[in-house]
Structure 1
Amino acid sequence: MALLCKSRVRGVLRPLLIRAAATLLALRKDARLLKVPPYLSALCIVVGVAWLLVLPLDEYSRRTYVSENALLPGQVHTYFTGSEHNVFRAYRQETAALADKSVEERTQRLSTILGAHNLKVATQRYEYHASGRNISDQNVYAILQGPRADATEAVVLIAAWRNMDGKINYSGVALVLTLARYFKRWSLWSKDIIFLISGDSTSGTQAWVDAYHDSHSPDTIEPLSIKSGALQGAVAVDYPAGPWGHRYDKLHILYDGVNGQLSNLDLFNTAVSIANGQMGIGCTLQRMWNHDDSYHQRLQTMLRGMISQGLGHASGPHSSFIPYHIDAITLQTVGDGWHDEMSLGRTLESLFRSLNNLLEHLHQSFFFYLLLQANRFVSIGTYLPSAMLIAVNFSISAIALWVLSGRPQTPTPNPASTKPPQPDQQAGEKANEKEKEQDKPTFIVAEIAGAKTLIPASSLEITERPLFLPLTFVLATHFLGLLPLYLFNHTPLPYLSYTFTFVALTTTLLPLLTATSLAHFQRPTPQERTLIQCFSLLLLGMFLAALATLNFSLSFLVGLLAAPLSFARASRNKGLSAVVGGLLLLLNPVVVVWAATLYFGQDVVEVLVKAAEGWHVWGLWTQVVVWLVWWPAWFAGSVVVAGGLVS
């Protein structure tokens, strides 16, 4: 009975499977199949952007919280007050007196002050070369050995001599000197505390942390003479009040690291909890001074954070520590209010007391997040799909182009039209019979679901794809991006403006010149041009998908700017090709950078100088993404479109 049932089921399913297989094979040759991918790619882009726009809503974001219970933020009584205020004002006058002194005199005096507190003091010289400039200064640092510590762990308190705006950090340096004297009197520290006064906000801290981990160049950076244990955290103070002091309104917390890396969210939440909850100091971020917690303000804060992370630049002294998996933030005073240096000192005291409680490195909270305000964030599992959808759209277009390249580009000519007239009627009749035999459909035997059936051979035909020229062109294009990458990172400052103009003009004209040269020497077929665009979009989608897990913001921004490449095609209509080519010229990465600097009111030369400094000092690789990922994809797409003009 069971065998009979099985045989009946097979008898019913076999014709269905045969019919389904025949339908699928016929679908491979259906021209309507290639009409779907462009709409699917557009849908991915629209959904990806819409996904990002709904993140500020309460349903897709969460309130911040401290995951590490051992931190206990704001649970201790702070004693930094009273007589310490007089000490701070004395040190502020000492700092003001050093403003016009040389680097050596300043270093010597700061070392003397720190050494007077029975701390181990050392200095470090550093020198960098970027854009023909010489960046050199000295760092001063001191180590307080924790009475309950075994020199295996340490936390760092930083004050750069000059902040990111180039102003002397008078009150910040004075506060660090005061806290060094104050912390020395306490016997509760279970970790060493390192007090670092760097020469500037980026190069000095980078040189110090590189030398601390023995990853520096001895030719330009002096090694550290004294060290402590593994660094567990770092907090920088940016309080550029003048020699006579200045009261502030809020604390601006900087948390962006180099290349879009972020510190553990617990450190940020601890600082906000202490400043806001314990000390009554308002906290803000991404220069949103008056945040009303509306959707518009949340979205603006998130987009500012994405732009900052996408650029990958150092936003403060803390940024140099994050690539070494050292959680770090910068506390910057802003506005005019009633808070003074004592409230900031108590905030730092409570924050270091919390870090002192840690038994292990911060790890329980998030390392990938988007902050909407000081008390609300979006985790990576919620925002990552938006960048992935943008990257997937390129892969969909690449697959569609691959399928298109396997189809005949031109109809097969009729053999009768190419044959010469026959000398006699008999030969003509034989030719006609031969043509009829050729026109008859041929079938092959295929086994489907255990049954042999006849399938038209035409449904299995695949056009041979020439891969040498497309692969060579795409690989050469990516290597070509090394030239502008080298030029912008090694050109001296006086020539950067001319270099930018030269690269902008060259990259604008290069697609048309390349397409003309190919048409003159190689004359690529439409199939080869399709394969060039296929491989280029495939690599772009792969790179952006991988980048999204490392730097979501950079992946999303580049993917959005390169999205039109998914729809740009070569056309026999020269007018349409000219319009598409003109639109692609506006999306030239060089043009986009120039337009962005105009929009944000920046000087393009200063941006290039900072980028070169980031390349040589911080290890910035945003330029690598621009010139070795984005620009080659734009160039390949522009050459394919320009091929429609010259063919």
Structure 2
Amino acid sequence: MAVNRIVGDRAHAMATTTATMKEKEEDATSKKPFKRRSRLIVRLGSFLIVHSILFSVVCCTAGLIALILLPVLANNTYISENALLPGSANPMFSIQDVVEAKKFVRDILDTSVTEEGRRIEIPRLIEQRVVDVGAEAYYHKFIADGAQFHPLHFFSCAPSTSTMETNNSCSSFGVNSVGIIRAPRGDGKEAIVLVSPYNSENIQLSDAVSLGLAYSIFSFLSRVTWLAKDIVWLAADSQHGEYTAVSAWLKDYHTPVFFSDAGKVDFGMCSVKDIHRQWENKLFKENNPNVFKRSGTMAAALVFKVTESKERSERDRLDIYAEASNGQMPNLDLINTAHYLAVHRQGLKVVVGMVDSLLHSTCLKFVGEILQSVGKLVKILNPKWKFGITSAEFVEGTSTVARSIFNQALGVPTGPHGAFRDYQVDAITLELSPRVYLHNENAQSAFLLKSGRLIEGVLRSVNNLLEKFHQSFFLYFLTSPNKYVSVGVYMIPFALLVAPLPIVAAALFSAGKRKGDNLEDTSNEVAEAASGSDSWKWIHAAKVVFMIHLWAGVVSLLPYHISQISGMDSTARMSVWVALSVTMLLISYKIVGSPYLCSSTDGDWEILKAVTVAVASIGLCLMSIINFATAQIGSMLLVPMCLMVRPFKRRSQVALSLRFIVLAFNLAFGLLGFPPVGLMMWKGLFEGFAKVSVGDFWDQAEFLWSWNSATYPYLLWIHLACWVLCMHILMHP
């Protein structure tokens, strides 16, 4: 009985389950099929594409406002590396060291009366003094090449220099004097480099004081016991340029030599044999100073020189130069250390460079007053919010950050310290200016004492480091000597300006494709023609964009060949460059085809603009990796031009006044976006429009490619090419 009951229960359960499953199947068949919702990122992208115009206006406006607010968003500088300990020890540089410096200055001025004394006696005098303090000394011979065009070296920098034995003409040679102090507490694996440039062709009092200050510091360091890193003093012969002398020495320092007679002068190869024979007899015969000597890895480098400022001030002045090739900057801790010691220990006035024309701008003062009022209101609402800034601080901060961005965007070093950044060595240039004339003996002594103690303090801080600079920022803009804008802040304006480009490209491509697809509804014949051409419209647009960028690449190589033609000024060379560029563009149209050929449908110009905008966004993003300042300035001109351009002849349903405003903006950005005009506007802003001429663009272009600045290929490969494409769209039928 129990068995029958169990079997019956199981049968009943199976029947119930089968009935339930049938009911579910019937319900499922009766309901509509379930639609899976798309992901949030897809829906957000679709929403932005539909509202691309509003999104572009909001992002561009916010980007420009964020760029203006950079001085407000700046932070106070601080020492990130605790091991630096600036000012923790009392300075040991004394009056006795100042006396030695002044004596050395007198010896230099006495020996520099004749040309032979300048070219021969000063290096020998430096070598003798270095040997007298117990350090190692040698001479480094180099020659300076002219401006060289290296198309593949744009992202490295450095005008080339050669050693004496590799050149057939030794008419432009120079000799650096080098001294090395082996650290008593070190192992010879690290070194700190001191550089004091001087012009051997024309020794001025400021050059002599620079050498005297450098020698007194070097002599002082030879007696201290706290050195843990070797000290290398490079007295750079800057008759052919400060950067050239330092770069030549650094190149030989980091290049291994495997033959015994490396660095010796081959007088049989020189065109002026008598002069070099005098150098051989008088300069290179004692203590074997012709052997290149090295120390360890460079921890940091300090370039310092004394100049006489035309403007008198209440305090001695210190100008800090930090920009290197292609926007590279030294670690911010090195600048902070020099600034802290100069202001809080020696009472110097520190300057990092400003745009003088912006200091008197009425518009900036008006914006500063508005921000000052907003800051007061914010402080009333919440005293903890730090948004306050005075109008004067805003104007000075804007002027300083504009100079910082411009120097980085130019991509050319602002001093010989830039040669060290090419070897990943942190370096800055300190330009010291006394408040009175150097001929005043008492003022000169006080100035030398302050300067010596400043350099001693910086060296002592770097000497404390157990590793290279790494704690603080390498990517930053300076708004004042004690305020900076980090990469996390200044990339916001660039991101806001570039963000609309891919969205607008997608919206334009969709709009152009829809207009092409609408032709299928008219007739079967037109639909067949449209369906065959619509799928290839984007390929034609990509071909046009590729052709224009290829033309821009060829145009970028023309200036080097034009510069070989003698007897032409800058204006004539610029005219030849423009004529050849236009001719090559017309020839490329004959070979590849004009962008106006395939214009049978209404959406062709939109697809061409979509590809142009996409390529512009890629070019700006790539340039931001190489030189962010160049990409930032380029985005301010290129993004509005690419977003607002539309065919001049294309009729629109909008009001006439709005069409007129759009046309005015197109013409304005088309004019300012043209590289020669844009560069002339920047030069007029920084130097005054009275100095602007037609040949200035040629001079600037020649200056950029001779220094292998990455800004040069950007201006032509990306900016000029996009400008030409925008002009094609503007004139599209």
Range with greater deviation from structure 2 (120-129 or 572-581): 572-581
Q: Does 1:144 align with 2:185?
A: no
- 3-state SS of 1:330 partner: strand
Task: Please state how far the C-alpha of 1:234 moved relative to its aligned partner.
Answer: 0.7
Q: Which residue of 1 aligns with 2:542?
A: 471
CA contact (8 A) 2:320 2:429 kept: yes
CA distance change for structure 1 residues 33 and 75 in 2, over 3 Å: closer, same or farther?
closer
Task: Please state how far the C-alpha of 1:235 moved relative to its aligned partner.
Answer: 0.8
Task: Please state how far the C-alpha of 1:161 moved relative to its aligned partner.
Answer: 1.4
CA distance in 2, matches of 1:11, 1:55: 63
Range with greater deviation from structure 2 (602-611 or 203-212): 602-611
Q: Does 1:43 align with 2:58?
A: yes
CA distance in 2, matches of 1:135, 1:6: 96
Q: Does 1:636 align with 2:677?
A: no
Letter in 1 for 2:400: T
CA distance in 2, matches of 1:348, 1:4: 91
Task: Please state how far the C-alpha of 1:297 moved relative to its aligned partner.
Answer: 1.2
Letter in 2 for 1:560: M
CA distance in 2, matches of 1:191, 1:148: 8
Q: Which residue of 2 aligns with 1:568?
A: 645
CA contact (8 A) 2:176 2:235 kept: yes
Normalised TM-score (structure 2)? 0.70
- 3-state SS of 1:231 partner: strand
CA distance change for structure 1 residues 283 and 233 in 2, over 3 Å: closer, same or farther?
same
Task: Please state how far the C-alpha of 1:361 moved relative to its aligned partner.
Answer: 0.5
Q: Which residue of 1 aligns with 2:469?
A: 362
Q: Which residue of 1 aligns with 2:279?
A: none
Normalised TM-score (structure 1)? 0.79
Task: Please state how far the C-alpha of 1:529 moved relative to its aligned partner.
Answer: 4.1
Q: Which residue of 2 aligns with 1:501?
A: 575
Q: Which residue of 2 aligns with 1:123?
A: 140
CA distance change for structure 1 residues 417 and 480 in 2, over 3 Å: closer, same or farther?
closer
CA distance in 2, matches of 1:311, 1:303: 12
Deviations 1:522-551 (A, max 9, x none): 445555544333223212212222333443
Q: Which residue of 1 aligns with 2:422?
A: 323
CA distance change for structure 1 residues 181 and 415 in 2, over 3 Å: closer, same or farther?
closer
CA distance in 2, matches of 1:304, 1:206: 25
Letter in 2 for 1:282: K
Q: Does 1:392 align with 2:512?
A: no
Q: Does 1:180 align with 2:218?
A: yes
Match of 2:558 among 476, 481, 487: 487
Supply the RMSD in Å over aligned alpha carbons.
4.4
CA distance in 2, matches of 1:12, 1:128: 87
CA distance in 1, matches of 2:729, 2:452: 61
CA distance in 1, matches of 2:318, 2:55: 46
Residue pairs, 1:90-101, within 5 angstroms: 90-96=103-109, 97-98=111-112, 101=115
CA distance in 2, matches of 1:33, 1:68: 44
CA distance in 1, matches of 2:414, 2:552: 27
Residue pairs, 1:149-160, within 5 angstroms: 149-160=186-197
CA distance change for structure 1 residues 33 and 342 in 2, over 3 Å: closer, same or farther?
closer
Task: Please state how far the C-alpha of 1:467 moved relative to its aligned partner.
Answer: 4.1
Letter in 2 for 1:125: F
Deviations 1:534-573 (A, max 9, x none): 2232122122223334432211101111121222122434
Match of 1:88 among 92, 98, 101: 101
CA distance in 2, matches of 1:598, 1:634: 21
Range with greater deviation from structure 2 (114-123 or 250-259): 114-123
Range with greater deviation from structure 2 (518-527 or 115-124): 518-527
CA distance change for structure 1 residues 184 and 402 in 2, over 3 Å: closer, same or farther?
same
Deviations 1:343-396 (A, max 9, x none): 001100111011111100010111111222122212111111211222223222
CA distance change for structure 1 residues 598 and 250 in 2, over 3 Å: closer, same or farther?
same
Range with greater deviation from structure 2 (103-112 or 367-376): 103-112
CA distance change for structure 1 residues 84 and 501 in 2, over 3 Å: closer, same or farther?
same
Residue pairs, 1:42-441, within 5 angstroms: 42-57=57-72, 60-96=73-109, 97-98=111-112, 101=115, 104-105=119-120, 106-120=122-136, 121-130=138-147, 137-162=174-199, 169-198=207-236, 199=238, 200-214=241-255, 225-241=292-308, 249-287=316-354, 294-334=393-433, 336=435, 340-409=447-516, 411-412=518-519
Task: Please state how far the C-alpha of 1:215 moved relative to its aligned partner.
Answer: 9.3
Deviations 1:19-47 (A, max 9, x none): 999xx99x99xxx9977323322322211
Letter in 2 for 1:485: S
Q: Which residue of 2 aligns with 1:422?
A: none
CA distance in 1, matches of 2:480, 2:503: 36
Range with greater deviation from structure 2 (149-158 or 108-117): 108-117
CA contact (8 A) 2:49 2:506 kept: no
Range with greater deviation from structure 2 (123-132 or 377-386): 123-132
Deviations 1:491-520 (A, max 9, x none): 258554322233346667987997799459
- 3-state SS of 1:308 partner: helix
CA distance in 1, matches of 2:23, 2:225: 85
CA contact (8 A) 1:485 1:627 kept: yes
CA distance in 1, matches of 2:393, 2:22: 70
CA contact (8 A) 1:393 1:541 kept: no
Task: Please state how far the C-alpha of 1:619 moved relative to its aligned partner.
Answer: 4.0
Q: Does 1:594 align with 2:687?
A: no
Task: Please state how far the C-alpha of 1:7 moved relative to its aligned partner.
Answer: 9.9
Task: Please state how far the C-alpha of 1:112 moved relative to its aligned partner.
Answer: 3.6
Task: Please state how far the C-alpha of 1:174 moved relative to its aligned partner.
Answer: 2.0
Letter in 2 for 1:478: H
CA distance in 2, matches of 1:614, 1:135: 23
Please identify which structure carries the higher strand content: 1
CA contact (8 A) 1:129 1:135 kept: no
CA distance in 2, matches of 1:13, 1:277: 81
Deviations 1:236-281 (A, max 9, x none): 1121249xxx996221111111111111111111111111112222
Q: Does 1:539 align with 2:601?
A: no
Range with greater deviation from structure 2 (468-477 or 360-369): 468-477
CA distance in 2, matches of 1:349, 1:603: 44
Task: Please state how far the C-alpha of 1:610 moved relative to its aligned partner.
Answer: 6.8
Letter in 1 for 2:673: L
- 3-state SS of 1:179 partner: helix
CA contact (8 A) 1:154 1:231 kept: yes
Letter in 2 for 1:43: V
CA distance change for structure 1 residues 405 and 215 in 2, over 3 Å: closer, same or farther?
farther
Letter in 1 for 2:612: S
Q: How many residues align?
A: 590
Letter in 2 for 1:323: D
CA distance change for structure 1 residues 415 and 189 in 2, over 3 Å: closer, same or farther?
closer
CA contact (8 A) 2:573 2:698 kept: no
CA distance in 2, matches of 1:472, 1:325: 40
Deviations 1:283-316 (A, max 9, x none): 1211489999712211221111111111111111
CA distance change for structure 1 residues 468 and 19 in 2, over 3 Å: closer, same or farther?
closer
CA distance in 2, matches of 1:298, 1:122: 44
CA distance change for structure 1 residues 79 and 464 in 2, over 3 Å: closer, same or farther?
same
CA distance change for structure 1 residues 317 and 610 in 2, over 3 Å: closer, same or farther?
farther
- 3-state SS of 1:214 partner: coil
CA contact (8 A) 2:649 2:731 kept: no
CA contact (8 A) 1:170 1:240 kept: no
Range with greater deviation from structure 2 (295-304 or 472-481): 472-481
Letter in 1 for 2:187: D
CA contact (8 A) 1:408 1:463 kept: no
CA distance change for structure 1 residues 236 and 533 in 2, over 3 Å: closer, same or farther?
same
CA distance in 2, matches of 1:65, 1:573: 56
Letter in 2 for 1:487: L
